[in-house]
């Protein structure tokens, strides 16, 4: 009866688990009238998650928080096969849902089944960006994985002694021979919950059974850690025995999807559309442990990337290299998990208006104009582009590298300017850029800020746009590269090389090719062409 009432209201039955149906039944929402008279306060008090509350209210036009109501076309989700998650992961069926642009020519066909965006078959921008730009909390694990297998420089018994002992116990635990997968799973969960001080990672109570689509879609996982007082996933465990079947990473991605109700939570909650919903994935495959990152693009479309190699958990007394690797990575996992918990606590405190603004930026970045119409283009906006202090709008991916265009409001709100935002690894020659701008041969540099845990630099600069007459020197037809233009370029370089930096010396550009020199000529040739030199990440 409960299912029939929901169906009569136009609800998507695949979003509701048996526990949700029980909640609705016990709280009096047993028929169409009860559902249409429902209020947000009543449904929340009954215990439904926000995504389902918004979904039910939207059936009677009571909310309007779906992406279509937020302005613009609906970002569609992928319809997954109605089979169990283990069946999807243990066969080649999942490959149908891997983002693979090379397999189609029509963008609509490419996206129809694209649910998993990652390194198989290729990690492509703008959907899959460096994980530390999707969420800075991922960076400590990346950093730890790159460290040498030696004791940390700040090693001390108080800070690391307990973790060293925890690693040694993990090596013993993982090297044992287990009768079945569940025994290994329970042993690892017990170790995780006792040794790492992150709260309790718990497994789902039982596997789904039965042939109904509801049962097939019900999530089962080996362990999940959620943020205190919320349903935001912090980390997810997937365990396979030595001879376990299926692709464990794919299975964990499916669990992540189903935890967020296969896109229903994203669609029904502005708060969830505000964020990438980052989570850590721990894969324990027999005696091998690895860490991965997963986050949401939109709906049930998700991105993933490895954070570490696979560590062999061998119990080898006297061999210390593996111990120090694991001490560094597990300490980083602790920091990352706590960072995600704090991230989700702060997310829930966001002002609704700010949430709507951030969600709008993320959604708009996933749409691009093609032949006068908007089509989907999965895109992960780096977290720092949503910083309120930057005050950006109309953010879009330019490419081919991590390059974005946007409009930025002036301080005080009096007007706006076109900006280009570039993310570079390592260092950026901001002193040279600013000095060359001071003599008119480089675009204005507004800021150069370390982001992603300090591993990258976000550069915000003046956007010299094609519609304003600017073009790369390499794009100028040869017939138009007359002596006047050549002299202007040489003059700009001479002026740049004459600039004295703070250290008392001058600088030369490390990559003066045609694409890195922008020019603008005046129609009729009455005045000298303007020249600007770009790209100072060398």
Whether pLDDT at 132 is above 90: yes
Strands, sheet with 530-533, edge to edge from the N-terminal-most edge strand: 471-472, 517-520, 530-533
Q: Which residues neighbour 494 within 8 Å (Cβ) at sequence distance 6 or greater?
A: none
**Same domain, yes or no: 4 and 150:** no
Chosen domain end from 466, 486, 508: 466
- Domain residues for the domain of 407 are 361-466
pLDDT at 209: 39
**Same domain, yes or no: 410 and 526:** no
pLDDT tens readout for residues 340-368? 999 999 999 999 899 999 999 999 999 98
Distance CA(135)–CA(138), nearest Å, equals 6
Of the pLDDT bands very low, low, confident and very high (cuts 50, 70, 90), residue 156 is: low
pLDDT tens readout for residues 439-464? 999 999 999 999 999 999 999 999 99
Q: Is the pTM of this model over 0.85?
A: no
Chosen domain end from 428, 444, 466: 466
**Same domain, yes or no: 461 and 472:** no
3-state secondary structure of 450: strand
Domain presence at residue 126: no
Domain presence at residue 378: yes
pLDDT at 159: 64
Distance CA(280)–CA(291), nearest Å, equals 7
Of the pLDDT bands very low, low, confident and very high (cuts 50, 70, 90), residue 62 is: very low
Residue 459 backbone dihedrals phi, psi, to 5 degrees: -105, 125
Nearest to 529 by CA among 492, 478, 475: 492
Residue 461, strand partner residues: 420, 445
Distance CA(372)–CA(365), nearest Å, equals 17
Nearest to 361 by CA among 338, 392, 316: 392
Give the residue with greater pLDDT, 339 vs 200.
339
Mean pLDDT of 506-535: 86
Number of structural domains found in the chain:
4
**Same domain, yes or no: 447 and 514:** no
Preceding peptide of 512 cis, ω within 30°: no
Q: What percentage of the chain reaches a pLDDT higher than 90? A: 55
Chosen domain end from 28, 46, 61: 61
**Same domain, yes or no: 407 and 269:** no
Domain presence at residue 436: yes
**Same domain, yes or no: 378 and 343:** no
Would you list the DSSP string of 257-278? HHHTGGGHHHHH-HHHHTS---
Residue 176: DSSP 8-state: S
SS3 of 317-351: CCCCHHHHHHHHHHHHHHHHHHHHHHHHHHHHCCC
Structure tokens given for 53:
């509350």
Distance CA(24)–CA(277), nearest Å, equals 27
**Same domain, yes or no: 485 and 453:** no
Task: Please check whether residue 261 is in contact with residue 49, taking contact to mean a CB–CB distance below 8 angstroms.
Answer: yes
Report the interhelical angle of 157-175 vs 181-195 (nearest 10°).
170
Of the pLDDT bands very low, low, confident and very high (cuts 50, 70, 90), residue 67 is: very low
What residue ranges in 371-426 does DSSP mark as E strands?
373-376, 392-397, 403-409, 416-425
CATH of the domain at 35: 1.10.150
Half-sphere exposure of 329 (CA within 13 A, CB side): 24
CATH of the domain at 401: 3.30.200
Report the interhelical angle of 321-348 vs 157-175 (nearest 10°).
110
**Same domain, yes or no: 174 and 263:** yes
Domain presence at residue 171: yes
Nearest to 404 by CA among 375, 368, 435, 432: 368
Strands, sheet with 456-462, edge to edge from the N-terminal-most edge strand: 392-397, 403-409, 416-425, 456-462, 445-451
pLDDT tens readout for residues 470-480? 999 999 988 88
Looking only at the bridges linking them, the beta strands covering 279-285 and 233-240 are parallel
pLDDT at 208: 40
Domain presence at residue 415: yes
Q: Mean pLDDT, the chain, as a whole number?
A: 86
**Same domain, yes or no: 427 and 446:** yes
Nearest to 140 by CA among 346, 331, 342: 331
**Same domain, yes or no: 173 and 221:** yes
Give the residue with greater pLDDT, 316 vs 530.
530
Domain presence at residue 107: no
Domain presence at residue 127: no
pLDDT at 71: 41
**Same domain, yes or no: 160 and 260:** yes
**Same domain, yes or no: 242 and 339:** yes
Whether pLDDT at 206 is above 70: no
Domain presence at residue 124: no
């Amino acid at each position: 009866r409960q299912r029939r009432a929901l169906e009569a209201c136009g609800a998507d039955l695949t979003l509701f688990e048996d526990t949700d149906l029980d909640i609705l039944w016990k709280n009096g929402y047993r028929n169409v009238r009860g559902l249409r008279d429902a209020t947000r306060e009543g449904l929340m008090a009954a215990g439904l998650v926000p995504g389902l509350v918004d979904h039910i209210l939207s059936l009677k036009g009571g909310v309007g928080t779906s992406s279509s109501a937020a302005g613009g076309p609906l970002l569609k989700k992928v319809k997954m096969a109605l089979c169990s998650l283990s069946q999807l992961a243990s066969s080649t069926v999942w490959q149908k849902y891997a983002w693979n642009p090379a397999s189609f020519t029509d963008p609509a066909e490419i996206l129809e089944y694209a649910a998993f965006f990652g390194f198989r078959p290729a990690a492509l921008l703008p959907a899959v960006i460096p994980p530390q730009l999707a969420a800075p909390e991922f960076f400590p694990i990346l950093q730890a994985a790159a460290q040498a297998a030696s004791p940390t420089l700040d090693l001390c018994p108080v800070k690391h002694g307990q973790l060293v002992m925890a690693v040694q116990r993990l090596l013993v635990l993982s090297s044992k021979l287990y009768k079945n997968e569940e025994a290994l799973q329970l042993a690892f969960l017990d170790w995780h919950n006792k040794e790492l001080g992150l709260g309790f990672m718990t497994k789902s109570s039982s596997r789904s059974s039965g042939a109904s689509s509801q049962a097939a879609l019900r999530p089962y996982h080996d362990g999940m850690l959620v943020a205190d007082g919320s349903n935001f996933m912090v980390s997810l465990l997937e365990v396979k025995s030595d001879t376990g079947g299926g692709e464990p990473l794919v299975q964990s991605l499916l669990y992540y999807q189903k935890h967020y109700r296969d896109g229903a939570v994203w669609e029904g909650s502005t708060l969830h559309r505000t964020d990438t919903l980052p989570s850590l994935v721990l894969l324990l495959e027999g005696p091998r442990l690895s860490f991965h990152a997963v986050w949401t693009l939109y709906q049930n479309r998700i991105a993933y990337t490895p954070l570490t190699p696979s560590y062999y958990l061998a119990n080898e007394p006297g061999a210390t290299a593996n111990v120090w690797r694991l001490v560094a990575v597990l300490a980083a996992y602790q920091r990352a998990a706590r960072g995600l918990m704090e991230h989700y606590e702060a997310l829930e405190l966001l002002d609704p208006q700010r949430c709507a603004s951030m969600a709008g930026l993320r959604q708009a970045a996933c749409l691009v104009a093609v032949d006068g119409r908007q089509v989907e283009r999965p895109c992960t906006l780096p977290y720092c582009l949503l910083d309120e202090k930057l005050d950006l709008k109309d953010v879009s991916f330019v490419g081919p590298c991590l390059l974005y265009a946007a409009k930025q409001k002036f301080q005080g709100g009096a007007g706006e300017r076109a900006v280009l935002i570039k993310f570079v690894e390592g260092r950026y020659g901001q002193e040279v850029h600013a000095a060359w701008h001071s003599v008119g041969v480089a675009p204005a540099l507004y800021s150069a800020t370390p982001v992603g845990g300090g591993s990258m630099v976000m550069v915000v600069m003046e956007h010299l746009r094609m519609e304003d007459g600017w073009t790369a020197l390499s794009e100028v037809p040869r017939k138009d590269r007359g002596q006047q233009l050549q002299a202007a370029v040489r003059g700009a370089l001479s002026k740049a090389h004459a600039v004295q930096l703070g250290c008392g010396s001058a600088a030369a550009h490390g990559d003066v090719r045609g694409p890195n020199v922008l020019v603008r000529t005046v129609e009729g040739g009455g005045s000298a062409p303007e020249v600007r030199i770009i790209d100072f990440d060398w």
